[in-house]
Structure 1
Amino acid sequence: MTGRTVGTRLRSRALARMNRIRDTFRDLTTSSPARFAVMIFVVLILVFTALYSLPAAAADGRATPLADALFTAVSTICVTGLATVDMYAHWSPLGHVITYIGVNVGALGVLTLASILGLVISKRLGLRAKLIAAGDTNPLRAHGGPVNEGQTVRLGEVGQMLSTVALSTLIIEAALAVLIYPALLAAGIDPLTALWEAPYYAAMSFTNTGFVPNAEGLAPFADDYYFLTVLMIGVFLGSIGFPVIFTLWRHTWHVRRWSLHTKLTLITTIVLFFAGAVAVVSLEYANPKTFGAMDAWDTAFQSLFLSAMTRSGGFSLIDIGELNGSSLMVGSMLMFVGGGSASTAGGIKVTTLAVLALAVWSEAKGRQQVEAFGRRIPSDVQRVALSVVAWGATIVALSTITIAQITKAPVEFVLFDVISGFATVGLSTGLTAELPDSGIYVMAATMFMGRVGTVTLAAAIAATARSQLYSMPVERPIVG
């Protein structure tokens, strides 16, 4: 046997082995998209934990403890913004670059990221890959079965949708960086430093993460309404979701052609934005530690800014721990709702709230069907919305009880930080930075479940739906 023959056989075996691995990987992506998506996030978290653990990633040149490295990786990939270390002082320039890359990767979304990776592996966007990608715009698609109602993004538009995700991220972050740069120069920041901080702020606002690239945070910009407004715009664009951006991109001035999802997302987001601001002003106007020392204009603007950040933005100009208990509860409620579906924001999503509110209204009016804008919302969507709320409330309750027992901290502080973690917001009363290792692991699990749990739960519920050719006898239990 010649050396050439042996070499050919070895190459053939290696090629066959690679083909088997690729086939196995492809089978996983098509048989269980939700499981595949979760696996991708787990792998990303492990990779970034290893990166954050590198001595070169820390400013002092020492390896970061596992608990802090893992928590930072989860917070980055899940675009949360909570931290157990000083995000500016603890990390080296390499660590800050890792954070910048991580939030942009994590912002793509669970199923969108899975579909893009599947596209890279399979070299084409087949039906199953489209179903995976469409799952981010409607979790009922993720199991690959038939869905009767009109979709946020149709399967034929999924390729355009993925292009929109990539292009909108690049274009919006670039535009935000251009707008932010002169504000940084006006604040006295060195032009070269501003070249780094501008895209960093842009990424942290659009991805709704909320990390800052300096030691003072937003304090130097407390009176710079231009800079703060740009941040709010970035948070808003990131929180409405890629399907809404996709719709507005195609039908900007044709409101009648907007999907029901787009209308519900924009209306609910705007209502919560102003309602939250009014609630904050009403509860904090006499608090000298927050808004009580400000004039009327500052109070109004800062309340709008805080309300916008509860959409999942995470930036803060005031000490959250100084808010009244009633304000913390309002903030917790706003954070629990979060932003739009398939967005960089977290929470149960504004459309979930809208669907449940419409269902309650229809029940109060004695209507047999739930309708909005001339469209009927089917019962399976209502069941998924209810399940998402129940799932989220269960996660928050268990995490709050566990961390409260570990820390013995006031429940309102624990609840606020837990919901901030679950909804990937990043606002904190100061509790998260003081958590022991056991509390850090619980909070990290909360952030992870909050980022991927609701989508995968909805997909699992849809996947377990089966055709039934018979009906059980009806019996009505007493409710209420």
Structure 2
Amino acid sequence: MILLGFVLAIVIGASLLTLPFAKIGPGGASWIEALFTAVSAVCVTGLVVVDTPAYWTGFGQGVILLLIQIGGFGVMTFASVIGLTVIRRMSLRSRLNAATETKTLGLEDVRALVLGIVRISLVIEGAVAIALTAQFAIGYGYSLGEAAWLGVFHAVSSFNNAGFALFSNSIVPFATDPLICLPLCAATILGGLGFPVIMQLKKHLRRPLKWTMNTRIVLWATVFFLVLGTVYVTALEWNNPDTLGPLDWPGKVLAGFFQSVQTRTSGFNSVDIGALHPATLLGMDVFMFIGGGPAGTAGGIKVTTFAVLFFILVAEIRGEAVVNIFGKRLSRAVHRQAISVVLLATALVMAATVVLMLLTDFELGPVLFETVSAFGTVGLSTGITAQLPVAGQLVLILLMIVGRLGPITFASALALRERTLAYELPKERPIIG
């Protein structure tokens, strides 16, 4: 149901984008342009094959904004919101679908979670929109109407980790402006934490002892990767004349921090991604692959999955029989889930990279960056997406859908049936390592 819901939203969105008045100039958008844009918006990725402000009309941009909001909520969550608004209740099927999509552990709190998602999204998006509108109007001389549209669009795009921008070179013109970059970073970070974490912080911000293992892992991992990414990008690009080199040191730090935040899953860029050093791109591949927090707008394998594998490794090195995290024992079922997600994600990214290299003449670095960006629903690009053949763009479309739904959810949706064995085979151990 979740997979079909996303497909339906994509089809409707693509159909709207093919209308003649959705595109600037005569005629309508081609089917691949409309499909790719709709998938990128619903999957809150941000990869584009056409220049958003120069290609789409106000109507087309409005469709993209709506698709971003639906994709950020989650199609099933959005449908639940409509049901609660229209008929004031949720059916059992709606609660099951919303619970699965939002990774809720029980059905009793689904309604509260759905309403909480709506409130949190609107409050954060509204606050960021006001801050951006003020700076666009006062600092850059846009009319109030233009500034408001720019503020709302980029607030929704950043909180939902979509990365769509209404400037042809993304946020590059504002690379050293903290009043533009920091609100976008704040929205991206909050969206990437995941709704369960935000709601728990709202309720128990001053009582960390009541935080769940999930909240603790997401917060610690988020801080760690933000700091690591900032240091990594800033240090490697400090003297690069095509990226951070021309900026003063506060501008370099701000741009390095901004790119670290956006690499997590949002996809805005304040420097030319194609001009980054190959070592920087490789490090960003890792950050994009890991992604942000679960049950939110972030993509990737999620920081919780990475943390689980890390603590399994630590326990194995220490010779411990169980894995303990923050004073709690980790369920063995989670071990299998984490390993499955990482193996499926790695196989998918590698297969897509090989296919794109066979279809094009691009080198490994840019191709790998593009596939990881699509899978991690990040949207950063070295500039080759629009140059890919239709077959290559279809590969990225598949990656974006799988990345948004998650490898396990997607694989489960394609499975023909569940299989329960009534017996167990005798144990035997192969040699490992």
* Distance of 1:469 and 1:253 partners within structure 2: 49
1:19 aligned residue:
none
1:155 and 2:120 equivalent?
A: no
Q: 1:131 aligns with which of 78, 85, 96?
A: 96
1:41 and 2:2 equivalent?
A: no
Counterpart amino acid of 1:59?
Answer: I
* Distance of 1:111 and 1:393 partners within structure 2: 27
1:331 aligned residue:
284
Change (3 A) 1:127 1:49: closer
Counterpart amino acid of 1:108?
Answer: F
For the Cα contact (< 8 Å) 2:176–2:255, is it kept in 1? no
For the Cα contact (< 8 Å) 1:187–1:220, is it kept in 2? no
1:182 and 2:147 equivalent?
A: no
Deviation at 1:461, TM superposition (A): 11
1:108 and 2:60 equivalent?
A: no
1:94 and 2:94 equivalent?
A: no
2:330 aligned residue:
377
Choose 1 or 2 for highest CA Rg.
1
Output aligned runs, 1:58-457, within 5 Å: 58-109=23-74, 111-113=76-78, 115-116=80-81, 124-125=89-90, 127-138=92-103, 153-185=105-137, 186-215=139-168, 217-457=170-410
* Distance of 1:257 and 1:218 partners within structure 2: 39
TM-score normalised by length of structure 1: 0.85
Query: What SS is found at the alignment partner of 2:134?
Result: helix
Residue segments in structure 2 that go unaligned for 5+ positions in a row:
none
Q: Deviations over 1:332-376 (max 9, x none)?
A: 100001111111111111111111111111111111111112211
For the Cα contact (< 8 Å) 1:207–1:238, is it kept in 2? yes
Residue segments in structure 1 that go unaligned for 5+ positions in a row:
1-35, 139-151
* Distance of 1:72 and 1:389 partners within structure 2: 27
For the Cα contact (< 8 Å) 1:384–1:458, is it kept in 2? no
* Distance of 1:402 and 1:300 partners within structure 2: 37
Identity among equivalent pairs (%):
38
Query: What SS is found at the alignment partner of 2:295?
Result: coil
* Distance of 1:66 and 1:167 partners within structure 2: 35
For the Cα contact (< 8 Å) 2:47–2:385, is it kept in 1? yes
Counterpart amino acid of 1:164?
Answer: G
For the Cα contact (< 8 Å) 1:260–1:373, is it kept in 2? yes
Q: Deviations over 1:285-341 (max 9, x none)?
A: 232211223332222221111110011111101111111111110001000011111
Query: What SS is found at the alignment partner of 2:329?
Result: strand
Deviation at 1:67, TM superposition (A): 0.9
* Distance of 1:366 and 1:272 partners within structure 2: 27
Change (3 A) 1:317 1:287: same
* Distance of 1:213 and 1:241 partners within structure 2: 25
* Distance of 1:200 and 1:326 partners within structure 2: 33
Deviation at 1:136, TM superposition (A): 3.0
State the superposition RMSD in angstroms: 2.3
Counterpart amino acid of 1:336?
Answer: F
Counterpart amino acid of 2:277?
Answer: N
